[in-house]
Amino acid sequence: MRLKDKVAVITGAARGIGQAYAERFAQEGAAIVVADILDREGEEVTAGIKAKGGRAIYARCDVTSRAQVSALMDRAVTSFGQLDIVIANAALPDFGDVMDVTDDTFDKVFAVNVKGTFLTDQEAAKRMIAGKRKGVIINIASTVAVVGDNYEGCYPASKGAVNLLTRTFALSMAPHGIRVVAIGPGPVKTAMMAGPLSDPVRLKGLKARTPLGRPAEPFEIAAVAVFLASDEASFVTGQTYYADGGRLALNYVMPETN
């Protein structure tokens, strides 16, 4: 119960790693606001948490809208009395060569991944300051925030921006005792990665650059988030924690894997 009596908002929590954060945080004692644009899946995740005795509500929120993000944070405070933890997890992928990225794709990916993270951080921070909470904001970056990837269009650039938003918000929030950190996952088995993970060529490439030789399960990333959100990480701010199976430590590719 490392997050006992905390209140957490998680965007993009209707499935994938966001769902894993929501379920694990609830197990650790937090009340959860499950936020997403996938209403049916979001309601199901919420019902699942409540069925196990947890506290949770579902709130529809498109993170590209300041009005909706603002209403989301207000909903957390009115429903559970405070706001302690926010995970800016919602994001869109972009697969293909950067030369093929259209204006429309670039605008959509940056609207969700960068502006959505910016709005989530800013609106969360306002509530934490107003409530005098020494809260924690966790952004979601990626290994491709620091290394290029010729299969992911403009997505790596959007995650690079998330890393700098993390550092910038961390500096701004430090005087308030609010920590702002990020997680940089390597490949994780979710709907977002279903295409690459089912393509034998991409899967082979992925394993060749992952020393642990496999993609992660969502719960392995959620475990990192519990630590960062907990008081055990009380001196950690402005950092991105890479849970990447060793990818960023690797220079040459791994010997051939199955």
The reply to whether 135 sits near ligand NAD by the rule CB under 6 A is no
Q: Is 252 a catalytic residue?
A: no
C-beta atoms surrounding 138 within 10 Å: 25
Burial of 40: CB neighbours in 10 Å, binned 0-12, 13-18, 19+ = exposed
The CA-atom distances, in angstroms, between 170 and each of 102, 175, 181, 241 are: 32, 9, 7, 14
The reply to whether 71 sits near ligand NAD by the rule CB under 6 A is no
Nearest to 29 by CA among 47, 46, 11, 49: 49
Q: Can you tell me the distance from the alpha carbon of 116 to that of 246, in angstroms, rounded to the nearest whole number?
A: 28
The reply to whether 14 sits near ligand NAD by the rule CB under 6 A is yes
Q: Pick one of 2, 27, 29, 37: the residue that binds ligand NAD (CB under 6 A).
A: 37
The reply to whether 38 sits near ligand NAD by the rule CB under 6 A is yes
Q: How far is the CB of 149 from ligand NAD (least distance, A)?
A: 11
- 191 or 212: CB nearest ligand NAD: 191
**SS3 state at 201:** helix
Residue closest to ligand NAD (Cβ): 16
Binding mask 196-235 for ligand NAD (x = CB under 6 A): ----------------------------------------
- 89 or 237: CB nearest ligand NAD: 89
Output phi, psi for 178, to 5 deg: -95, 125
Q: How far is the CB of 110 from ligand NAD (least distance, A)?
A: 12
> Among 124-132, 172-180, 189-197, 225-233, which window interacts with ligand NAD (CB under 6 A)?
189-197
DSSP string, 35-95: EES-HHHHHHHHHHHHHTT--EEEEE--TT-HHHHHHHHHHHHHHHS---EEEE-------
The reply to whether 16 sits near ligand NAD by the rule CB under 6 A is yes
Tokens 């308030």 correspond to what residue? 176
* DSSP symbol at 188: B
Catalytic residue numbers?
A: 155
Please give the residue ranges that form the binding site for ligand NAD (CB under 6 A). Answer: 11-12, 14-18, 36-38, 61-64, 89-92, 112, 116, 140, 142, 185, 187-188, 190-193
